[in-house]
Structure 1
């Protein structure tokens, strides 16, 4: 049934329609709630990795930098969303697409900043900037590029992203990355708030409806936060030292060209571009019952790249479209891009207020871990779902097997790369890039059918 106080069915399918303000503002906030945790989490993960890698004295990021990266995540998610909804010439889909910090890049970014001898945040942000420029250029070829990456390749890539992040989720839920002198890692006191987050999230996701279900992870983290607060695991000291208003700083961490990071960012930009094309199509199908036009797909890709490049210039992380908000459009039936614009404005305002980032920074690592265990698992599950569209003949099974074995194997045993150069280690240690590279190359060069393959293309049988 249509809520006539919002608009008629024809109006709801129109991206240019604006519902009454009393309805548009709550709908815009709903979009922010649906993406908020996923948007700030990559900044926390990357900042934590950079701090851990250089020890707790001279090189650790510390509170101000962590807050700044959270702040930039909100600010540039809002700006990139505005570019999508309002548009600048050919840039922007002018659809209700919500942009946010991408999880897909995390398995590449963490090795780039963690550990001695890495490029650090200067090299990472330079890579984000140049990767964003490359991402923008993909808008000119996104159509043919989309056809060159079938579900076998894209599904494997998404699955590998999820698998690469699972260890991080468990480490955080247990109290952080285990180090010498951290006796409380893995204790019941650490696990309890994380388990509360997971349980509350599951209950709300499956036994409630509406905004509570949509924001289940966020509400779950709030519940875990309250438990951690009662257990004495929360400190508010950092909020008082944060300023009320602060502007982004160009080249906050400097400029350092590291080709390993640049290559990694460019490769992942291809994955992000394909994801955005899928999200644009999902919005038009779910909200308006039609396919996305070439203009919309191209504009969405341009906006992806431009948003990422601007973010990198000011110390932010790569942006991409958020799939959870695509589902929200389908659920509410409201296609209005101006509703999402309102949500973007909320993110921008929050991005200029460091105290918001400082408040988020008070969330204990184990509470955040409970949330990311759910989110990272969903990333892997999304990859499995994409792979369900694959015709599992012997050819495709061999491609999947070799790519997964090499990629996941290198992820489990990165010391196998100890005699390669620093660039190779950064590119290969996550396992994601070698798995994706193998899948793409093998899919292009291997014949469609193996001689003597008597498996039906639709069967799920294994190799004899």
Structure 2
């Protein structure tokens, strides 16, 4: 919990309270440590999916370093939008923004194997999707009814399921190594396993920041092991510049329908996630409900922060839930603490040597970390689904949406004859699953006849939240 010498109990619950800098700066850096790995990982994954970035001999390798930089810079800028605010934009609460995993199932099919040239279309989607999401601040409280736990839990679960394959590929040696003798070697899996074991040990057998930063510390442990095994090269760190500013339209802009539709849809999901995080912060840190202005302001900052990032080659941002938990642990509600962390992120992002240092992390080490992180995304979705009343109606909705969404991920050739734009959206799996769940939830009646559903489910019909079928229906 927070050191009471920072301020009185009433001050600690006040978002406008400013602790002494000697306290505020370390607390702000704590927030950065809690989100750092999750923030830079999507940039590395997108670069890898596009086919550039891995291997220091790649001519496009500096582009991955640049994307890592922008992940830090625009996470910091979007966080400042939240903590300081600009007009109606920003909740003026200690909300930490970071690059979102949620968009990866949309981004990966858009860039897969297409190289750096595909980034212009991706950035066009980030820009339009961000503007669309920001505009949701006007109506965010009116659309929440369409996304109950059944839908949001399914979406989050599908996001995790779409990404778990990436974690296994990275732990085995990375996509470029597929088909080579080195792929899946015991050395690769040993390094990844060190990350997983250390992460789990710290998560469950330590407290405070050690537990919150378990993934980061696990990656450091795996990195040290990889270094001792000769798997780390520092050549690019020496060659990287000391300071560089963001480059407007670094990748250019190209507006593609598949990217725009995908990013706009995921913007709705991100907005709802942010609403949940804002509510968590006000309840956990100040013991009150979030106001309508705070929810709208947070949504504006979430969306417009992403749009600005797209103009400079950055990826979309969202609020980070792990930092909500950190506020509950420290007991410090001050938005100015998070502002200190945001400034630290921006400064670090303008030093290419930091991005180059991050790029030295072997793909196997990162694989161990993302196995944990993506698995936790699935677990978070399952946790959200535990709030669902598992009656026959909801089981049918979930079954159909999951079957079609996951099925299209596993067998993308099943829709090979669709137009390119529609095919990309369908094979993400996430978009069709979410649309089916939302539409069915809105149009199906509250109850479905017992006989019909028992026939479909083989008699395994749930009767309450988290309950197993009763004997009379088996």
* Aligned twin of 1:21: 21
SS of the aligned residue for 2:42 comes to: helix
| Residue 69 (structure 1) aligned with residue 67 (structure 2) | yes
Report if the CA contact (8 A) 1:178-1:185 is conserved.
no
Moved more, 176-185 or 105-114: 176-185
Report if the CA contact (8 A) 1:2-1:9 is conserved.
no
1:3 CA drift (Å)? 2.6
Deviations 1:71-122 (A, max 9, x none): 0000000000000000011100000000000000001101000135997100
Cα distance change, pair 456–52 in 1 and its aligned pair in 2 (3 A)? same
1:62 CA drift (Å)? 2.7
Map residues 218-297 of structure 1 onto 2, 5 A cutoff. 218-297=216-295
Deviations 1:281-331 (A, max 9, x none): 000011011111000000000000110000000000000000000000011
1:56 CA drift (Å)? 8.9
Report if the CA contact (8 A) 1:34-1:324 is conserved.
yes
1:181 CA drift (Å)? 5.4
Report if the CA contact (8 A) 2:51-2:114 is conserved.
no
User: TM-score with structure 1 length normalisation?
Assistant: 0.96
* Aligned twin of 1:325: 323
User: TM-score with structure 2 length normalisation?
Assistant: 0.94
* Aligned twin of 1:383: 381
Q: CA RMSD in A?
A: 2.0
Cα distance change, pair 157–127 in 1 and its aligned pair in 2 (3 A)? same
1:213 CA drift (Å)? 1.3
Deviations 1:343-397 (A, max 9, x none): 0000000111100000000000000010000000000000000000000000000
C-alpha separation between the residues in 1 aligned to 2:449 and 2:225?
Answer: 60
* Aligned twin of 2:414: 416
Map residues 138-153 of structure 1 onto 2, 5 A cutoff. 138-153=136-151
Residue of structure 1 aligned with 2:133, choices 117, 132, 135: 135
Report if the CA contact (8 A) 1:198-1:370 is conserved.
yes
Structure 1 runs (4+) deviating above 2 angstroms are 1-4, 55-58, 115-119, 178-182, 451-464
1:459 CA drift (Å)? 6.5
* Aligned twin of 2:365: 367
| Structure 1 runs not aligned, ≥5 long | none
C-alpha separation between the residues in 1 aligned to 2:178 and 2:198?
Answer: 32
SS of the aligned residue for 1:5 comes to: helix
* Aligned twin of 1:86: 84
| Residue 159 (structure 1) aligned with residue 166 (structure 2) | no
1:51 CA drift (Å)? 1.7
| Structure 2 runs not aligned, ≥5 long | 452-460
C-alpha separation between the residues in 2 aligned to 1:176 and 1:184?
Answer: 10
Cα distance change, pair 309–348 in 1 and its aligned pair in 2 (3 A)? same
SS of the aligned residue for 2:98 comes to: strand
1:179 CA drift (Å)? 4.8
Deviations 1:213-245 (A, max 9, x none): 111110110000010011111011111111011
* Aligned twin of 1:32: 32
1:250 CA drift (Å)? 1.1
* Aligned twin of 2:338: 340
